[in-house]
Amino acid sequence: MDTIDRIGINGSDALLVIDLQNDFMPGGALAVPYGNEVVPVANALMRHFANVILTEDWHPAGHLSFASSHAGKGVFETIALPYGDQVLWPDHCIQDSKGAELHAGLETWRAQLIVRKGYRPHVDSYSAFTEADGKPTGLTGYLRERGIRRVFMCGLATDYCVLWSATSARKERFGVIVVGDACRAIDLNGSLASARSEMEKVGVGMTHSGAILAP
């Protein structure tokens, strides 16, 4: 991905902060290594944007993406579902649970919108824009009505929800820039390298938070 050195932010830009929830933090049910390191960087970035959106995984108990919902299947196995291949995850981000809560240190009051995804029992959703079966979440329409043309992204995890959100946003013809040092990856079987390659192919830019936070 192209490195973008200095970036000016204006009213047609939005920051999408992806899934900074307890279950993705160290000690959580689906911990992303060093995921907690993203929180202070995300806070600093949010202070520079007039338009901030947060996302949350919001699964009902017994969700189809959980390994516990499939007899004889283990965590991180892949199965075929009507909407495509599905990685089976540990039970995580269950609605109204402590694990589903956003990290206590995240400055959530800076956001105008929280998008919840994966709340349908039989369909997963990595992307903030579309669920796994292609149904829209409504975020595209929200951004367009707000006059947003470019979306910056940070959060967890680079190789799943950040990747899917970034590629979905490009399909909707938004400019997309991922803030690399404000993301962390699961990196399951080389998924991080694959994610970077896929984002590059569809024109997702990559930058460092310093390019935005610099005076």
Which one is catalytic: 93, 154, 161, 183?
Answer: 161
Assess whether 117 carries a catalytic annotation: yes
**Cα–Cα–Cα angle for 110, 114, 119, nearest 5°?**
160
Type and span of the H or E element at 164: helix 163-171
The DSSP secondary structure of 4-70, one letter per residue, reads -------TTEEEEEE--BGGGSTTSTTPPTTGGGHHHHHHHHHTT-S-EEEEEE-BPTT-TTBGGGS
Dmax (CA) of the chain: 55
161 tagged catalytic: yes
Q: Which amino acid is it at 103?
A: H
Among 19, 91, 124, 159, the one annotated catalytic = 19
Q: Find the catalytic residue in 117, 124, 154, 183.
A: 117
Are the beta carbons of 132 and 80 closer than 8 angstroms?
no
Give the helix/strand (H/E) hosting 184.
strand 175-184
Catalytic status, residue 93:
no
Residues with a known catalytic role: 19, 117, 161
